[in-house]
Structure 1
């Protein structure tokens, strides 16, 4: 199994440039990552972009709503949680991905600025994403969304939040979800898997950083066994169909694969998209041909699930 050729050319620089977040505070890591964001000179056009806020008992958080260029009157929707280790990244860091996902999948994308750790510990981010899913369902008519065709999704830490929001929706009486999109998700605080041992150093997002993310979000080790922190230990029956994206050279590969297998074992329909040459985070690197292929594959499968008879 070899690295994708384009990634192989970049991996030394990518790895050397990854900030030592495990030596920083959350605020320092957030500022460092934010300072490296280079806005797109010519961002992809979408139909409309609007912003709103969602109120929760302890405050509020922002959402950004992307309508595709050609949207149906009652379009499907994807409520999306960005990655960033529960600590950093935001609506702007994932703006390009959300534009692309909206246009390719022909879905309204609701990007969620959930509250970040360590200022807001577990389970705040997961509760925020669930609140955003509920808000989207309540406001479906004004958003131009079909309430029967709402998916939840996310990458990396956002994939964890998406899995947990799906569990919450099942266990709390709704909203009913038509699909879940999990892009190299954070699933369990296990740092001794074969993929961690093989790819935990030298492949961009190192094990030391992944451990630090858990320390910021779920510092109490006992809490990490809760299904709303590590969904691999949850009862997974009755969850919506899932699209699971795996990167071959990713410390999180094995836990993502284990989750896909556990979903199948619980009777959940799983579409597994594997990219052996990819590293963690590659889908948000639009200069890569592999990222463009993965985005096309993901959008096609999400659109299929959101237009299937079960979702109508």
Structure 2
């Protein structure tokens, strides 16, 4: 690990609370109080919150429109990370603005229901509802429904993967691709990366056990793939995937394993592994070492969305 990266990671790790010792409300308030100001407001032409119908009532989405002519744009339906418990559409605002700018896509960020107030599979159901809503209202939003991706980081990567399976199972128009950024795939805590990086690398085993406990309440839904996408009977006929993993991350092993499962099922996969980086690095907009990885992600997404490649300075 580069010395500068190590220091940034250590500072981040030291500042991150032991969420497993806090209530969800306390952890949310702590993180919201330390949130950095968004510095790239001008990356998009507009960012509007909208209420849409959801399975648990009204569901808020934030729609980011890129600069340029509207209509026929590709789109990304995005789920933020936070262990199904923390974060919201504001915590990932800067990242979504950059995504809209550099992929020239309409980004729809989903303010899905959080645990423990709403247990599994509420978050997945909200993400799927947002996907279906955008597909049905594509013309109104200015989106080409044949060029839509499902995407998310960490817990959001789980929701993006589950949404792709739900589309297949429900006969809903399939995403053009799924973007899984260091995704949480399984409530299992004894993988190689869990054993190696359980503490000291920002995201800990204790924190992940807490997140899954809050989301599941020790009860797996049926079918289990609604929360653990690796448990689907088949991964055939799923959309192409971009999978991002970080070497110093408890979730690295399961992310690599899921990329392998998809490839084994003949799903095209682009897997970008960053052995010298840690969980969360890609969405930390103030972390310089993540900039090159974001540029590569935008390029990978543009290819899935059939957007002409441009420089992303």
TM-score interval, normalised by the smaller of the two chains: over 0.9
CA contact (8 A) 1:82 1:89 kept: yes
Structure-2 change in CA distance of 1:233 and 1:57 (3 Å): closer
Aligned to 1:160: 158
Q: Is the 8 A contact 1:224 1:230 kept in 2?
A: no
Moved more, 77-86 or 166-175: 166-175
In the aligned structure 2, how far is the partner of 1:250 from the partner of 1:46? 31
Aligned match of 2:80: 82
Structure 2: distance between partners of 1:224 and 1:27: 28
Distance 2:134 2:8 in 1: 39
With over 3 angstroms needed to count, the CA separation of the structure-2 counterparts of 1:239 and 1:48, relative to structure 1, is: same
In structure 1, which of residues 19, 24, 40 is the aligned counterpart of residue 22 of structure 2?
24
Are 1:44 and 1:100, in contact at CA under 8 Å, matched by a contact in 2? no
Q: 1:57 to 1:9 in 2, by over 3 A?
A: closer
Query: 2 CA distance for matches of 1:21 and 1:128?
Result: 24
Q: In the TM superposition, what is the alpha-carbon distance from 1:71 to its structure 2 partner?
A: 5.0
Is 1:282 equivalent to 2:276 in the alignment? no
- What is the TM-score normalised by the length of structure 1? 0.94
Structure 2: which 5+ residue stretches go unaligned? 308-313
Aligned to 1:197: 195
**Quick check: 1:39 aligned with 2:45?**
no
Structure 2 Cα separation of the partners of residues 71 and 293 of structure 1? 28
Contact 1:88 1:116 in 2 (8 A): yes
Q: 2:175 aligns with which of 156, 174, 177?
A: 177
1:286 CA displacement: 1.7
Corresponding residue for residue 62 of structure 1: 60
Deviation of 1:41 (Å): 4.6
Unaligned runs of 5+ in 1: none
Equivalenced residues, count:
306
Name the CA distance, whole Å, in 2 between partners of 1:289 and 1:38. Answer: 15
Give 1:291's aligned residue.
290
Residue of structure 2 equivalent to 1:241? 240
Distance 1:111 1:27, change over 3 A: same
The SS at the match of 1:182 is strand
Higher alpha-carbon deviation: 208-217 or 289-298: 289-298
Deviation at 1:4, TM superposition (A): 3.7
How far off is 1:42 after superposition?
5.3
Distance (whole Å) between structure 1 residues aligned to residue 157 and residue 33 of structure 2: 24
Task: Answer yes or no: is the 8 Å Cα contact 1:78–1:151 preserved in 2.
Answer: yes
CA distance in 2, matches of 1:82, 1:92: 9
1:26 Cα shift? 1.4
**Aligned Cα RMSD in Å?**
1.5
1:119-148: CA deviation from partner (whole Å, max 9, x where unpaired): 000000000000000011111001110011
Whole-Å Cα distance in 2 between the matches of residues 71 and 276 of structure 1?
Answer: 39
Query: Superposed, which structure 2 residues align to 1:213-292 within 5 Å?
Result: 213-223=211-221, 226-234=224-232, 235-292=234-291
| 1:151-186 CA-partner distances (Å, limit 9, x unpaired) | 100000000000111111111011321010000000
For residues 178 and 81 of structure 2, the distance between their equivalents in structure 1, rounded to whole angstroms, comes to 15
CA deviations on 1:22-80 (whole Å, 9 max, x unpaired) are: 01111111111111112225534312212211212431121001111235630110000
